[in-house]
A and B are shown apart, each in its own frame.
Chain A
Amino acid sequence: MQSQQIQQLFVRYKILALLIAVAIIWVFFHIKTDAAFVTPGNLSNLFRQMAITGMLACGMVFVIIAGEIDLSIGSQLGLLGGVVAILTVNQGWGTWTAIGAVLVLGLLIGAVNGYIVTKMRVPSFIVGLGGMLAFRGIVLFITGSSTIAPAPDNLIAIGQGFVPPDVSRWIGGLIFLAMVALTARRRVRRTKLGLQQAAVWIDVAKIVAIGAFIFGFVRMLNDANGIPIPVMILLGLLAVFTYVSTQTVFGRHIYAVGGNMEATRLSGVNVARVKLVVFAIMGLMCAFAGIITVARTGSGSPSAGTGGELDAISACFIGGTSMRGGSGTVYGALIGALVMASLDNGMQLMDVDNSWQMIIKGVILVLAVWVDVLSGSNRNG
């Protein structure tokens, strides 16, 4: 009986299970690395490592919910990063102009992928596989297979800079207040509509947990210069993507298309357009990730982003996105990305051999999805 209740709790609050998993991983590494893991400096580093995978995962979670896949995003990241490096370093473009141009280019590349998938009806797996090769080839061609450096200082500042501690505190406070306000408004509305309410203690516990988390997060990172700018961007994207997926017509249509494309089409939804836009957004996220990659390393490397698609897809699946489409959450995918980044970071600190790192990450991915299947939350009707 008891175990069944616990199982139900985890099915309803999948995020809880994921956070516990993250906590276990952190404690494990903290002990194994003689208290070097949960330190402001290392966590700041970990979150920065996670930011790029997280950006890709934001886009990927929409693609997977819509019932598709995009394997070319690692190469897209490399290409878009390469273009921003060439524009700023070789062509002497201003940083912001170059960033704007690359964001537009990313959107276009994604839209072309989406066009091929929806209008020309090539399966997305194949389009991704082809794109993976072709985009990487283009990067090698335009960079002449060599690293392009040094990136301008104001570009590097985006990748390596920090939000000042005072501002971080303010932002943290505002986010907390916003969460409180949203929860209160939700309760009022649901009462007015006569809908089932979550128990008060659950909402209070949620707010307390969120408050404690924000406080701890800001405090910890302020001890290491403040919130890194890429992490701040990722948090912004989390907010936007969560909003889109839960509050907009477009978001609802993504879930509907992935859940049952034929029924959605017969309901008068332009399913091709929904998928095309999802792919375009994926391209845009590759541009974000590509720019941040160049900004972090200070150079455009022709091999940047290699294997990035696997990290992003793993993050989505660890975060509870259904492989058959139709269900998943953005925050789940980001926690999935946090799991992957924590494993990378911890094993690097422990000086685990690269071969073992790959083995362990692979096993954990399969394990995580197996647990998800066991919990029955992925059972489709």
Chain B
Amino acid sequence: MSEYLFEMRNIVKEFSGVRALNGIDLAVRPGECVGLCGENGAGKSTLMKVLSGVYPYGTWEGEILFDGKPLRAASVRDSEAAGIVIIHQELMLVPQLSVAENIFLGNEIRKFGGVMDYDAMYAKADALLARLKLKDVNVAAPVMNYGGGYQQLFEIAKALAKNARLLILDEPSSSLTSSETDTLLAIIEDLKHDGVACVYISHKLEEVARVCDTVTVIRDGKHIVTKPMSEMTTHSIITAMVGRDIENLFPKVDHDIGEVIFEARHVTCWDLANPNRKRVDDISFQLRRGEILGIAGLVGAGRTELVSAIFGAYPGRYEAELVLEGKSIKIKSPEQAIKAGLSLVPEDRKRQGIVPLLGVGDNITLATLSHYAHAGQIDRQAELQVVEAEIKRLRVKTASPELAIMGLSGGNQQKAVLTKMLLPGPKVLILDEPTRGVDVGSKYDIYKLMFELAAKGVAIIMVSSEMPEVLGVSDRVLVVGEGKLRGDFKNVGLTQEQVLAAAISHAAEGPAHAA
């Protein structure tokens, strides 16, 4: 048993009755790198929160052994003291502080009375960076002077400064270029030689294949398989990740698909922080009347950026040529997009969808208020009639249309946001993760509404991370990976494996086409 540095046994974690983790095992030897794979929502991040002490001992069942001894971390500090350090997908650096200050943040080398010993910190930071083969870094310069690749390595240096013996990397390459990723993987190899153990969480299976010795796949909170990488292929990993039937959650209705109504050409978005990096790289596609187009891909692939650029809402620099009903249209703001006949239901309901203090009715009419007004004065009666009708039609459960929307459940809030963006009467409806955080009943209502709209000739673009949803609802599926169009499939006999393979496949293979 003591051959393992770290062992999790039969971990169970419940959230108000729902089992997010249901008997997960994970074990890592010293100097070994274990790849942890699973779809979005499989339970990877919950598992990492158990592991790193975000969920303290006692809030979950099961056992964690570290160095053969039980680990009962009450907080992140405890697990870090034991030598477990997690590096999050979002970098946790303070851009204005220097490299050395970041590496020792919360862990500063002090002289007497809390005064920082800069000389010692600089020297040790230099030594740590040398271990990572990073030369030419001025540890006294602010972190923001360095690019994403360097920053990822600073995070690793920070972990090493805490004497990490188990390093957990969560999607470490999601903001890196391919050459930066190569450097990162080489460094992980070096760390393995030094006896540091790693857990590598990534959707990019070719990276997992390159750097990991063992692979563990989880799905729906359950442990599926753990095998040496030598016995696995990327294909077998994908099969293990997906491997489930789609239940008949989707009230699919036959609808006619008409002529091309909308076209987006050469959509390109640049990263806000890193102007050389493209979040969306020259994507073009067509959309037909009455068609539901699913956009699949992994988190961070550039799907949200793609649709927000089309809607005129991307905050950074972007380019897009749009054609609606044969006419070229210019869209620079959501205001213009809605006028042109486009609607977008955003991904983050709380931040982008609702105005929490306003009433349900006021939220519903926010996009179309001027329709119920004469010379700027709101005709409350006309407004309320529309609101009441919409609330009934979509079965929004609220005691009164005047109730502040923040009091409603997620599903009902989402229905209100959806109807808000339907009231302008869009020709093209864009839904970004329309059922995120929504209960099953509301999900069903939302799918039903989508099919009704499609039958009426509305063209729908749906971005979704839930594979069953993509396959259950879409007529056609676009797959986006690393900002590029990786596949364009008709949804006839399409499988999750095909979609996932396209999403993960290396850019060099080019877009995949089925049948």
Spell out A's residues near B (CB within 8 Å): 189, 192-196, 247-250, 252-253, 255-256, 259-260, 262-270, 322, 326-327, 380-381
B311-327: which have CB < 8 Å to A? 311, 313
CA–CA, A226 and B376, complex, Å: 35
The listed residue (B344, B353, B366, B378) touching A269 by CB distance below 8 A is B366
Answer yes or no: B377 CB below 8 A from chain A CBs. yes
Beyond contacts A189-B380, A253-B369, A256-B358: 13 other A-B pairs, Cβ-Cβ < 8 A, are A193-B385, A196-B402, A252-B369, A255-B357, A256-B366, A260-B354, A260-B355, A263-B346, A266-B353, A268-B334, A269-B367, A380-B356, A381-B357
CA–CA, A252 and B346, complex, Å: 21
- CB contacts (< 8 Å) of A194 on chain B: these are 388
- CB contacts (< 8 Å) of B313 on chain A: these are 265-266
CA–CA, A268 and B420, complex, Å: 11
The answer on a CB contact under 8 Å between A265 and B334 is yes
Report 27 cross-chain contacts, Cβ distance below 8 Å, ordered by A residue: A189-B380, A193-B385, A195-B384, A195-B400, A247-B378, A248-B376, A248-B378, A249-B376, A253-B369, A256-B362, A260-B351, A260-B352, A260-B354, A260-B356, A262-B351, A263-B355, A263-B366, A264-B355, A265-B313, A266-B313, A266-B352, A266-B353, A267-B338, A268-B334, A326-B356, A326-B358, A381-B350
- CB contacts (< 8 Å) of B311 on chain A: these are 266
CA–CA, A327 and B381, complex, Å: 23
- CB contacts (< 8 Å) of B350 on chain A: these are 381
Answer yes or no: B328 CB below 8 A from chain A CBs. no
If A195-B384, A196-B400, A250-B376 touch, does A270 touch B333 (CB 8 Å cutoff)?
yes
CB distance from A343 to the nearest CB of B (A): 30
The answer on a CB contact under 8 Å between B388 and A193 is yes
**Number of B residues, CB within 8 Å of A:** 41
CA–CA, A327 and B355, complex, Å: 11
The answer on a CB contact under 8 Å between B334 and A259 is no
- CB contacts (< 8 Å) of B512 on chain A: these are none
- CB contacts (< 8 Å) of B338 on chain A: these are 267-268
- CB contacts (< 8 Å) of B404 on chain A: these are 381
Answer yes or no: B335 CB below 8 A from chain A CBs. yes
- CB contacts (< 8 Å) of A250 on chain B: these are 376
Answer yes or no: B339 CB below 8 A from chain A CBs. yes
CA–CA, A247 and B384, complex, Å: 13
- CB contacts (< 8 Å) of B378 on chain A: these are 247-249, 252
CB distance from B374 to the nearest CB of A (A): 10
The answer on a CB contact under 8 Å between A259 and B358 is yes
- CB contacts (< 8 Å) of B339 on chain A: these are 268
CB distance from A254 to the nearest CB of B (A): 11
The answer on a CB contact under 8 Å between A252 and B362 is yes
CB distance from B348 to the nearest CB of A (A): 9
CB 8 Å contact bits of B221-253 with A (1 = contact, 0 = none): 000000000000000000000000000000000
The answer on a CB contact under 8 Å between B352 and A380 is no
CA–CA, A380 and B401, complex, Å: 19
The listed residue (B334, B376, B401) touching A267 by CB distance below 8 A is B334
The answer on a CB contact under 8 Å between A268 and B335 is yes
The answer on a CB contact under 8 Å between B367 and A268 is yes
CA–CA, A192 and B391, complex, Å: 17
Residue from the set B311, B358, B376, B402 with the largest chain A CB neighbour count within 10 Å: B358
CB distance from A14 to the nearest CB of B (A): 14
CA–CA, A260 and B406, complex, Å: 12
The answer on a CB contact under 8 Å between B351 and A267 is no
Answer yes or no: B59 CB below 8 A from chain A CBs. no
If A252-B362, A259-B357, A326-B357 touch, does A266 touch B344 (CB 8 Å cutoff)?
yes
Closest A residue to B308 by CB, please name it. Answer: A266
- CB contacts (< 8 Å) of B420 on chain A: these are 267
Answer yes or no: B424 CB below 8 A from chain A CBs. yes
CB distance from A322 to the nearest CB of B (A): 8
- CB contacts (< 8 Å) of B351 on chain A: these are 260, 262-263
The answer on a CB contact under 8 Å between B380 and A259 is no
The listed residue (B384, B402, B406) touching A381 by CB distance below 8 A is B406
Closest B residue to A246 by CB, please name it. Answer: B378
- CB contacts (< 8 Å) of A256 on chain B: these are 355, 358, 362, 366
Answer yes or no: B370 CB below 8 A from chain A CBs. yes
CA–CA, A248 and B358, complex, Å: 15
Closest A residue to B372 by CB, please name it. Answer: A249
If A247-B378, A255-B357, A327-B357 touch, does A266 touch B406 (CB 8 Å cutoff)?
no
Closest A residue to B381 by CB, please name it. Answer: A189
The answer on a CB contact under 8 Å between B354 and A263 is yes
Closest B residue to A244 by CB, please name it. Answer: B376
Answer yes or no: B123 CB below 8 A from chain A CBs. no
The answer on a CB contact under 8 Å between A269 and B335 is yes
CA–CA, A112 and B313, complex, Å: 26
The answer on a CB contact under 8 Å between A326 and B367 is no
- CB contacts (< 8 Å) of A192 on chain B: these are 381
If A193-B381, A256-B366 touch, does A262 touch B357 (CB 8 Å cutoff)?
no
The answer on a CB contact under 8 Å between A267 and B357 is no
